[in-house]
């Protein structure tokens, strides 16, 4: 049997980038041979194994054949007869289809190195079309390597459009979409993810109402230049959605709470953020409560940050400093004095509220 390093590790090493995960392909071996050598089988769908010591992933070379719509319908052959070239041929991009043998030699039948040099994201073969997740992957790679001047090859874009026309994107599983979307949000240029999806017509299927020339996309690129927080990036990018649209999208893709909650807060309370300096103490305390700031301070900071990015994008007011002062005034009330009164139940809550209101009113009077 022969073992080759493949995929992202070879690609990133050639790009001079750090390699986090190593994937290997094994040619000329059977499942039994792998098990005998102590590898642990993990793949549900394909014969994939973990190395007994390094825990790296070793997959038997395979060819795949699509038998149904969407992501689920696959048939595969991973017999010891499958060659390295055949395995590389079924991969998504030429830059992901370079193998490296144990002595360091590159095996690159589909000219991935040339595409790396030319900065092109190009599909290897028509087998690309067998996996619709690849549309999202390509958009994500574009987001990741935009700063290195990579772009999607025209012929790949055409193929992606054909896949969208065939209804492949409608058949994508929610979890897969979210996984790629979330990863794209963590890349250097997350806005590129949406541009690529738009250019292959997938965006209107995946995210109706998302406007790639709108405030959301500008705010997203601003957010990405300022912070790595994926939840802030997510929230500002969907800022123009109304509450119903946001809810539908978050439910459809089972977006985790930390993302969806921040988005909802931003949509609901951005106008309060804008008018914060004109609001009464009662209204300000209501906003603080709605944001649940006394229990969720870190999220409040993210809310302010997201509002700042939107405000900057729209050339509107930055009221973060003021809202933070309001919060601190309400938070730093003398709780010992309140407890010392030995009140019960609602009376305590009422006194806390009145004391907070008085503190905010004092602050307003001082300005």
Return residues touching ligand CTP (CB under 6 A).
7-8, 21, 23, 91-92, 96-97, 131, 133-134, 137
Identity of the residue, 134 or 302, whose beta carbon is nearer to ligand CTP in the bound complex: 134
| Longest distance between any two alpha carbons in the chain, whole Å | 82
DSSP 39: P
CB of 133 vs ligand CTP, minimal distance in Å: 5
CB of 191 vs ligand CTP, minimal distance in Å: 18
CB of 11 vs ligand CTP, minimal distance in Å: 6
> Which residue has the CB atom at the shortest distance from ligand CTP?
8
In this structure, the number of other CB atoms found within 10 A of the CB of residue 248 comes to 13
DSSP 336: H
Identity of the residue, 193 or 300, whose beta carbon is nearer to ligand CTP in the bound complex: 193
Identity of the residue, 91 or 122, whose beta carbon is nearer to ligand CTP in the bound complex: 91
In this structure, the number of other CB atoms found within 10 A of the CB of residue 341 comes to 9
CB of 176 vs ligand CTP, minimal distance in Å: 9
- Angle at which helix 154-165 crosses helix 133-145, to 10 degrees, equals 150
Q: Is 145 exposed, middle or buried (0-12, 13-18, 19+ CB in 10 A)?
A: buried
Identity of the residue, 68 or 208, whose beta carbon is nearer to ligand CTP in the bound complex: 68
Q: How far apart are CA 51 and CA 130, in angstroms?
A: 29
Identity of the residue, 168 or 272, whose beta carbon is nearer to ligand CTP in the bound complex: 168
CB neighbours of 337 closer than 8 A, spacing ≥ 6?
A: none
Identity of the residue, 170 or 339, whose beta carbon is nearer to ligand CTP in the bound complex: 170
Q: Is 156 exposed, middle or buried (0-12, 13-18, 19+ CB in 10 A)?
A: buried
CB of 141 vs ligand CTP, minimal distance in Å: 7
């Amino acid at each position: 049997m022969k073992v080759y390093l493949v995929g992202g590790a070879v690609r990133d090493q050639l790009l001079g980038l750090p390699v986090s995960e190593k994937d290997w392909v094994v040619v000329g071996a059977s499942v039994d041979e792998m098990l005998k050598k102590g590898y642990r089988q993990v793949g549900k769908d394909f014969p994939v194994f973990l190395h007994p010591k390094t825990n790296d992933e070793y997959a038997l070379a395979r060819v795949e054949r699509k038998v149904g719509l969407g992501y689920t319908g696959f048939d595969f052959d991973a017999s010891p007869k499958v060659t390295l070239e055949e395995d590389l041929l079924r991969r998504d991009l030429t830059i992901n289809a370079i193998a490296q043998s144990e002595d360091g030699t590159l095996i690159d039948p589909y000219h991935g190195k040339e595409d790396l040099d030319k900065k092109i994201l190009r599909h290897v073969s028509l087998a690309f079309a067998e996996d619709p997740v690849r549309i999202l992957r390509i958009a994500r790679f574009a987001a990741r390597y935009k700063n290195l001047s990579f772009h999607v090859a025209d012929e790949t874009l055409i193929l992606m459009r054909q896949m969208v026309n065939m209804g492949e994107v409608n058949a994508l599983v929610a979890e897969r979409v979210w996984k790629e979307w979330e990863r794209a949000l963590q890349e250097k240029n997350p806005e590129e993810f949406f541009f690529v999806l738009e250019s292959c017509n997938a965006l209107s299927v995946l995210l109706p109402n998302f406007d790639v020339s709108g405030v959301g996309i500008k705010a997203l690129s601003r957010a990405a230049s300022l912070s790595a927080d994926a939840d802030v990036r997510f929230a500002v990018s969907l800022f123009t959605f109304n509450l119903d649209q946001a809810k539908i999208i978050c439910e459809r893709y089972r977006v985790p709470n930390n993302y969806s909650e921040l988005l909802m807060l931003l949509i609901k309370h951005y106008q309060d953020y804008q008018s914060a300096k004109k609001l009464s103490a009662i209204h300000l305390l209501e906003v603080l409560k709605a944001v649940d700031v006394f229990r969720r301070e870190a999220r409040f900071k993210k809310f302010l940050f997201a509002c700042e990015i939107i405000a900057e994008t729209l050339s509107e007011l930055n009221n973060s400093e003021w809202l933070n002062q309001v919060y601190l005034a309400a938070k730093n009330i003398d709780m010992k004095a309140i407890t010392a009164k030995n009140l019960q139940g609602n009376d305590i809550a009422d006194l806390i509220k009145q004391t907070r209101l008085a503190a905010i009113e004092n602050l307003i009077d001082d300005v």
